Structure 1
Amino acid sequence: MAKEKKYKSNCPQYLALEVFGDKWTLLIIRDMMINGKKYFREFLQSKEKIASNILTNRLQMLEEEGIIRRKQDPNHKQKIIYLLTERGIDLFPILMENARWSLKYKPVEDIDRAKAQAILDGGQKAIEQIMEQLRHEHLD
């Protein structure tokens, strides 16, 4: 049985930030959800240029938190596929709210603006459809 972790605070914001309070963690999740990335090397190729040691650390933490899971690639026994869990898929609305704020206040690239705005314009129904698609792609 895993030992229960002690936290400095049980504030809901604090507890959430313990998991995804750095830029790299949410960017990895974004890459899985929006860009369809599933392999270590694919994450390294993101335009933000995450270092391999940071990527390794974040993937391990996300797995420990139950947000992603690993499985062997059936086509290549030495490759690992990273997949979202239901807990991870539940972060999609948070990513979209972050996008909504950025679209309002930051100089978002046109292609990213168009993608995010299309989802947001579709409202809750569009968010739920994408989450259902993620379930189909990531959950067995």
Structure 2
Amino acid sequence: MTTPRSGCPTNAAVEALGDRWSLVVLHDIMFGDRRHFRTSQRESDEGIASNILARRLRDLVAAGLLTREGPGAGRRAAAYSLTEAAIQLVPVLAELGWWGLRHCPTSEPLRVRAQVLDDGGPQLWEELMNSLRERHLGMPPPETGGHL
């Protein structure tokens, strides 16, 4: 991660997240499970160009928001995984979606996820974050009380 221009936490966060494409790429990996380059490009609702996608993936790895596991046994393509820092963006993306629902023109099919996150609130966000930790970080789901 590069040193931000100032010590302002908001500025540092904006610089780490980069631009609109970085947020779209994170969103697609987080909510659409698009963990491979070709899948991300093919299924992009926004039509991201391959050179932009490649650059954003590199930048997000460099920023510590994604990890890249190269192709290996049984895999033909590199896979990208969210880091804990990226997973902690779930509430931020949920709030951005809430704001967009209320203040921006959107299409009905693409509104659904933002509406579900808004309706579910922090409890749903936490459940999603735990699910992402399990899938991307290999962490077991948290104990939910009860029996030993």
Match of 2:122 in 1: 124
Q: Measure the CA separation in 1 of the matches of 2:18 and 2:3.
A: 17
* 1:5 Cα deviation from its structure 2 partner: 4.2
Q: Measure the CA separation in 2 of the matches of 1:29 and 1:6.
A: 21
CA-based RMSD of the aligned residues comes to: 1.6
Q: C-alpha offsets along residues 37-94 of structure 1, whole Å, 9 cap, x if unaligned?
A: 0000111120211121211111111111111101135422x41000101111011111
Q: Measure the CA separation in 2 of the matches of 1:102 and 1:6.
A: 30
Match of 1:75 in 2: 74
Instruction: Name segments (4+ residues, structure 1) moved above 6 Å.
Output: none
Partner SS for 1:66? coil
TM-score computed with the length of structure 2 as normaliser: 0.84
Q: Measure the CA separation in 2 of the matches of 1:80 and 1:21.
A: 22
Partner SS for 1:69? strand
Q: Which amino acid aligns with 2:20?
A: K
Q: Measure the CA separation in 1 of the matches of 2:45 and 2:114.
A: 17
Q: Which amino acid aligns with 1:81?
A: A
Q: Measure the CA separation in 1 of the matches of 2:2 and 2:23.
A: 22
* 1:127 Cα deviation from its structure 2 partner: 0.5
Q: Measure the CA separation in 2 of the matches of 1:27 and 1:90.
A: 16
Gaps of 5+ in 1: none
The answer to whether residue 18 in structure 2 is matched with residue 21 in structure 1 is: yes
Percent of aligned pairs sharing the same letter:
37
Equivalent of 1:8, from 5, 9, 12? 5
Q: C-alpha offsets along residues 6-48 of structure 1, whole Å, 9 cap, x if unaligned?
A: 4321111111111113110000000011111000011112021
Q: How does 1:36-115 map to 2 (within 5 A)?
A: 36-45=33-42, 46-73=44-71, 74-76=73-75, 78-115=76-113
Q: How many residues are treated as equivalent by the alignment?
A: 136
Q: Measure the CA separation in 2 of the matches of 1:112 and 1:105.
A: 15
Q: Measure the CA separation in 2 of the matches of 1:23 and 1:118.
A: 22
TM-score computed with the length of structure 1 as normaliser: 0.89
Gaps of 5+ in 2: 139-148
